[in-house]
Amino acid sequence: MAANSMLGSSLVKKYWMALTGLFLCTFLIVHLAGNLQLMGGDAAREGFNEYAKFMTTFPLIKITSYLLYFSILFHAFDGILLTIQNRKARPVQYAYEKPSANSIWASRNMGLLGTIILVFIVTHMANFWARMHWGEMPIDVNGNKDLFTVVMEFFRDPSLGVVFTLVYVISMIAMGFHLWHGFSSAFQTLGINHKKYNKIIKSVGYGFSVIIPALFAVIPVYIFLTK
Ligand code: HEM
CATH code of the domain containing 179:
1.20.1300.10
Domain containing residue 131: 3-89+104-225
Which residues form the pocket of ligand 1, taking CB atoms under 6 Å from any ligand atom?
A: 31, 35, 38, 52, 55-56, 65, 68, 117, 121, 124-125, 128-129, 132, 147, 151, 168, 175, 216, 219-220
Report CA(65)–ligand 1 centroid distance (Å). 11
> What is the structure's pLDDT at 194?
87
> What is the structure's pLDDT at 34?
98
The number of folded domains in the chain is 1
In a domain, 19, yes or no: yes
pLDDT, tens digit only, all 227 positions of the chain: 444 454 458 889 999 999 999 999 999 999 999 999 999 999 999 999 999 999 999 999 999 999 999 999 999 999 999 999 888 887 665 555 666 666 899 999 999 999 999 999 999 999 999 999 999 999 999 999 999 999 999 999 999 999 999 999 999 999 999 999 999 999 999 999 888 899 999 999 999 999 999 999 999 999 999 98
In a domain, 97, yes or no: no
Quote the CA–CA distance of 141 and 16 in Å, as a whole number: 45
Percent over 90 (pLDDT), the chain: 85
Percent of the chain that is helix, strand, coil (3-state, to 5): 80, 0, 20
Report CA(96)–ligand 1 centroid distance (Å). 44
Testing ligand 1's pocket by substitution, the residue of 23, 26, 31 carrying the most ligand atoms inside 8 A of its CB is 31
In a domain, 96, yes or no: no
Angle of the 45-57 helix axis to the 3-35 helix axis, nearest 10: 140
Quote the CA–CA distance of 114 and 175 in Å, as a whole number: 8
